[in-house]
Chain A
Amino acid sequence: MAATTESVRADAAEAPLLNKTNLIAGFMLYLVFYSFIRWYEGVYGWSAGLDSFAPEFETYWMNMLYIELVLEVIISAALWGYIWKSRDRKVMSITPREELRRHFTHWTWLVMYGWAIYWGASYFTEQDGTWHQTIVRDTDFTPSHIIEFYLSYPIYIITGVSAFLYAKTRLPTYNEGLHLMYLVAVIGPFMILPNVGLNEWGHTFWFMEELFVAPLHYGFVFFGWAALAIMGVVNTEVMAITKLLKKDLA
């Protein structure tokens, strides 16, 4: 009896199952950051982004590219390194409640991954269409590419790999091996970034003009399909959470 009282006391002080502040803060972080990016594009796309041989292009766009690449390497190394270093070595012995809490944290990561995929694959990718149909492409590093390929794609890659690492290091569900669809859901969209190589090669050799449905772009399409692997992740998660809730839901 005494033990029960103690655990109830402990619960009163323990962290909530879902940390809503983190969820909202994460959501807002992407929203505010990308709103700033959109503002930057609106202003400096027109004033400094049309002629890649102009000095202002170097100032406002190439420097942007260098800064973001450096930051992405630092942030991904720090974040992934931290998640891995602080991994739970006794992941199989956590309490069901702690497991449930971690599923919520994991889902906070997955919500961010979905959110980041939206910005990268939908918002900035179609935006690239309107920019390249409007201007004359005179470099591989156009303002819309500097944002789309080298900012929004790395951001969802960083987010996706973080979610994967979190699941792998903290959830018993993922202890039995590597989840195939999780790998596809993270590596597939990641492959869109190397596929930029094909895109730029093709645009340099043949197409200065923008035809979105050109077969040259099908590499992006193929890897975009991998986003569907989120379904496999959802299924596994639903099964795992069902195990935790089943007898209480019945």
Chain B
Amino acid sequence: MSASQSAVRSRAEAVAVSRTFDWMILFTLFTAVLGGYHIHYMLTGGDWDFWSDWKDRRLWVTVAPIVSITFPAAVQAMLWYRYRLPVGATICVLALLLGEWINRYMNFWGWTYFPVNFCFPSNLMPGAIVLDVILMLGGSMTLTAVVGGLAWGLLFYPGNWPIIAPLHVPVEYNGMMFTLADLQGYHYVRTGTPEYIRMVEKGTLRTFGKDVAPVSAFFSGFVSVIIYFLWHFFGKWFNKTDFISGENV
């Protein structure tokens, strides 16, 4: 191999090659993150995400941000620190939502016939954009964790409320009161998922009366801060470029 030889014929070709790699890298990053993030999210917060009658004011609001800030923190640790690209969280959420929507439409509706207004995913986009912009403006992991993590938790419920509010309108049905979301869960039979599996509205939260969603969101934001730190360092580890010798394997 001669060091003086060039891999490309011209600067134009170098630029084109670099750009082609951009797209190939972006595609692979997008799909691999989609796979990992989706499997993580569906198995740590999935049931809340699958069904409208799980999207409550307490557990959904608490659990979904905590388990979903993980991959955005890790991918930011790559894209910002190595490439100064403030899109780590947005890429993760775009990927996750694409995977979820394809599946909800093709399979939840297309294979097992649950109406889409019963099995739509949660919206994580507002938190993702704010998380990316805070990292870009501050350039600080700590600031992003504290301010961004808190925002991630706090924006979740209001970001979803326009989507779920119509389903929280009450209805009287055979002498009992339901929300429309409850009624969806009752009407559209999930044979393998009895009602007692549903983890919603647990606990009394008696002091705060009906305003439980802000309390849950605040707590969720607090834990999201901690999880952001943790996953930032996970992300750093996954960014390693070390080689090890065969003897160590």
Contact = CB atoms under 8 A, between A and B. Distances in A.
Interface of A: 11, 17-18, 38, 41-42, 45, 92-97, 99-100, 103-104, 107-108, 110-111, 113-115, 117-118, 120-123, 125-127, 129-137, 156, 172, 174, 176-181, 183-185, 189, 192, 208-213, 217-218, 220-221, 224-232, 234-239, 241, 244-245, 247-249
B207 interface: no
Given A125-B39, A248-B11, A249-B18, A130 B197 contact: no
Given A126-B38, A126-B107, A131 B1 contact: no
A39 to B, nearest CB: 11
Given A117-B35, A177-B243, A134 B71 contact: no
A248 B6 contact: yes
A122 B192 contact: no
B28 A227 contact: no
A122 B35 contact: yes
Nearest to B3: A96
- Nearest 5 pairs of A and B residues by beta carbon: A227-B36, A121-B35, A114-B31, A177-B243, A248-B14
Contact of A115 (B9, B31, B63, B238): B31
A149 B24 CA distance: 27
B245 to A, nearest CB: 5
Contacts of A236: 241
B11 A180 contact: no
Interface string B33-75: 1111111101111111010000000000001000000010011
Contacts of A217: 43
**Looking at B20, B43, B44, B240, which has the most chain A CB atoms within 10 Å of its CB?**
B43
B102 interface: yes
A218 B39 CA distance: 10
Nearest to B198: A211
The dominant DSSP class at the A interface is: helix
Interface in B1-16: 1-2, 5-11, 13-15
A104 B7 CA distance: 12
Given A225-B36, A227-B33, A241-B21, A126 B244 contact: no
**Looking at A132, A231, A239, which has the most chain B CB atoms within 10 Å of its CB?**
A231
Given A228-B71, A241-B21, 11 more contacts: A96-B5, A107-B25, A111-B28, A113-B28, A133-B112, A213-B48, A224-B39, A227-B32, A227-B39, A238-B25, A245-B17
A230 B29 contact: yes
B103 interface: yes
A212 B46 contact: yes
Contacts of A120: 35
B186 interface: no
A104 B20 CA distance: 9
A209 B193 contact: yes
Contact of B43 (A114, A130, A212): A212
Contacts of A234: 25, 28-29, 78
A80 to B, nearest CB: 17
B178 interface: no
Interface string B230-249: 00001100111111111011
Contacts of B171: none
A41 B111 contact: yes
